[in-house]
Structures are given as C-alpha cells and as structure tokens.
C-alpha cells in the first residue's frame, strides 16, 4: 500500500509550510496526503493528557485541520509514531511516492537551512525527499498554510543538476514530470570545475581560448543530447541547458533563486553494508538553497 505524499510535521511554522507544499503536490497528483508526527517517548504522556485520545498534539492538529479545510477534495490523514524522527520518517518514506520535510533557514550562504533530521532522512529514504524552507516564496509559515489552495502565482523554473556524461534517468524523469505537471520551464545545469575542463578565461592565450571554446561547445552539445530523450517524452516542457565552470554548489544555489524546485540526485549504496550519505555538493546546496530542494535516490 502506498502512503501517497507524506509530510513530516511537528507543529512548527516550518512544518506548516512543508505541509502546505505537500498538500499542493498531493492535489496535483490526485493522491492522498499523510501527515506523520514522530513524537518519541512523549506519545504515552500525550495520550494520558488527552484522556487516551488520538495523541495528536494541538499544534499538529491545528495544521492538519487548516490543510483539510483549505483543500476539501484532498484525503488528509494524520499519524503519530514513537521513535527516532529520521529513522521513522525514512521508514515511512519506503511506502510513499514523495516525502516532504520542513527546514529552518534563510537561504543563501549567510545561514544554514537544514538540520540533522532533514539531512539524515534525505540520505536514507527510499523515495524522493523534498525539503521546503520556512520562507519559501508563496507558501509562508503557519499563517500561510492555506497555500494548499493553489495560490502562489505562476510557477518558477524547475532546475535540475545534471552530470552530462552520466545523466540519471530517475532524476531527469522526476524533474521533467514536475515541470510538465506545473507548466514550468526546466533548466538543466551542469557544473564542471575548471581543472576538469571548461571555458578558458579571456586572459588565456588565444590558442587556449580557441581550444576552450571548442571544448565548451562539445560539452554543450553533449548536454543537449543527454536531454533529447526526455524532451521527446515530455514535449510540452520547454527546456534550457547551461554549463558552468567553478563551484557546483555555488551555481546551483544561485539557480535556486528563480526556481520553484531544485532537483538533485543521491546515489544509493550498491551494498547493504554501505552507509547512505549525501555528497558534499548536495549537503552544501541543501544548507543554502533559496527554495524547495528535491533529493531523488538512484542507482
């Protein structure tokens, strides 16, 4: 049984924003929304305080009821679970189409975005995980959780980080599908450190600049070729492709300014003993992105 879209919720403003984003996505997909509150050992105490009731804390219930009222056509359920938030949310994510979490920060390199629960869950979940910052444009905080009604104006770009020499089907399919469903432009961004090849600076000798221009043109063509199959599958999606030399994290964080969603991949361990982890670029982007970031697991 699939849980549809799952959102981790703790009653905070950032989890209200994540719930609003998750509700909009569940409505768009035509599936249910399951809210999960992992309360650890407080579950028994909560049930005693509430006379043996559902054990749903009042701040969580307020967000649940607000989302349900704003989206009358959405099947909304709420579950309270004892345990470790990162472990339990990742476990629930194995049965979900999408797992959505809230995150703290302000975006940009001035402040950190994601806490340890978000990072650990994104590294372990078997489904795509979207981390939504509390200040995400068009969503607001607890007061703005009515955004599930579909407000927020025209969609921004869907930006996807691409490794053109080994493009990942799961990541590109997720990005193209989201762009198709929301009517957004898809922008594929590939970043290469200058030491690994890329455009030469204007201060380089003419011969080197010519070589650099030829290499850049070949790289751009290869990137375009990598996207062609997905353009055929999603012909309604307008696409753009960009090559950047320099810091991948910096380029992706900058691209997130205009993005309704930034999509990145996470390689899953080939062996069961391999510890799930996020790469350094992905962690940096998660900490500093200006809007929602989707982490898509792939082989």
Residues 24 and 106 in one domain: yes
In this structure, what CATH number is given to the domain that contains residue 36?
3.40.50.620
Residues 252 and 201 in one domain: yes
CA distances from 127 to 8, 38, 74, 183 (A): 14, 18, 21, 23
How much is the pLDDT for 287? 86
Residues 163 and 137 in one domain: no
Residues 41 and 95 in one domain: yes
> Mind giving me the DSSP string for the chain?
----EEEE--SSHHHHHHHHHHHHHHHHHT--EEEEEE-TTHHHHHHHHTTSS----HHHHHHHHHHHHH-TTS-EEEEEE-S-HHHHHHHHHTT-SEEEEEE---SSTTS----HHHHHHHHH-SS-EEEEETT-TTT-SGGGGGGGGS-S-S--EEEEE--TTS--HHHHHHHHHHHHHHTPPEEEEEEE-GGGS-PPPTTS-HHHHHHHHHHHHHHHHHHHHHHHHHHHH-TTS-EEEEEEES-HHHHHHHHGGGEEEEEEEEEPPSSTTSPP---HHHHHHHHH-SS-EEEEEE-
Residues 185 and 71 in one domain: no
Count how many domains the chain has.
2
Q: Which tokens go with 47?
A: 């049930």
Residue 258: domain span: 154-299
Residues 51 and 169 in one domain: no
Residues 169 and 237 in one domain: yes
- Domain termination site, one of 108, 132, 150: 150
- Domain termination site, one of 150, 185, 206: 150
Residues 262 and 176 in one domain: yes
How much is the pLDDT for 276? 63
How much is the pLDDT for 199? 43
Angle at 266 between CA 264 and CA 269, to 5 degrees: 170
- Domain termination site, one of 150, 178, 195: 150
Q: Write out pLDDT tens, residues 172-200.
A: 999 999 999 999 999 999 887 554 444 43
Residues 99 and 74 in one domain: yes
Residues 184 and 71 in one domain: no
Residues 127 and 252 in one domain: no
Residues 235 and 159 in one domain: yes
**CB 291 within 8 Å of CB 131:** no
Count of beta carbons in the 10 Å neighbourhood of residue 17: 27
How much is the pLDDT for 58? 87
What residues of the chain score a pLDDT lower than 70?
1, 40-55, 104-115, 135-155, 164-167, 193-216, 269-276
Token pair 């607890």: residue: 142
pTM above 0.85, yes or no: no
**CB 272 within 8 Å of CB 145:** no
């Amino acid at each position: 049984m699939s849980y549809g879209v799952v959102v981790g919720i703790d009653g905070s403003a950032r989890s209200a924003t994540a719930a609003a984003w998750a509700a909009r996505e569940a409505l768009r997909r035509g599936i249910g929304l399951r809210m999960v509150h992992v309360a650890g050992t407080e579950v028994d105490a909560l049930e005693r305080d509430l006379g043996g009731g559902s054990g749903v804390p009042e701040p969580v219930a307020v967000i649940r009821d607000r989302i349900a009222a704003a989206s009358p056509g959405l099947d909304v359920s709420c579950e309270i679970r004892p345990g470790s938030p990162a472990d339990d949310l990742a476990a629930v994510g194995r049965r979900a189409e999408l797992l959505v979490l809230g995150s703290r920060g302000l975006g940009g390199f001035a402040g950190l975005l994601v806490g340890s629960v978000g990072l650990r869950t994104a590294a372990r979940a078997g489904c795509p995980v979207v981390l939504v910052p509390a200040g995400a444009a068009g969503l607001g905080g607890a007061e703005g959780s009515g955004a599930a009604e579909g407000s927020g104006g025209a969609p921004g770009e869907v930006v996807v980080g691409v490794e053109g020499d080994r493009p990942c089907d799961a990541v590109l399919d997720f990005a193209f599908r989201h762009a198709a469903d929301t009517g957004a432009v898809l922008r594929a961004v590939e970043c290469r450190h200058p030491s690994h090849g890329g455009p030469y600076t204007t201060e380089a000798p003419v011969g080197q600049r010519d070589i650099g221009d030829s290499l850049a043109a070949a790289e751009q063509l290869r990137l375009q070729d990598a996207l062609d199959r997905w353009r055929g599958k999603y012909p309604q999606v307008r696409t753009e492709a960009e090559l950047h030399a320099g810091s991948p994290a910096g380029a992706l964080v900058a691209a997130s300014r205009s993005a309704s969603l930034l999509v990145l991949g996470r390689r899953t361990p080939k062996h069961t003993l391999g510890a799930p982890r996020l790469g350094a670029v992905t962690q940096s982007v998660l900490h500093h992105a200006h809007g929602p970031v989707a982490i898509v697991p792939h082989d």
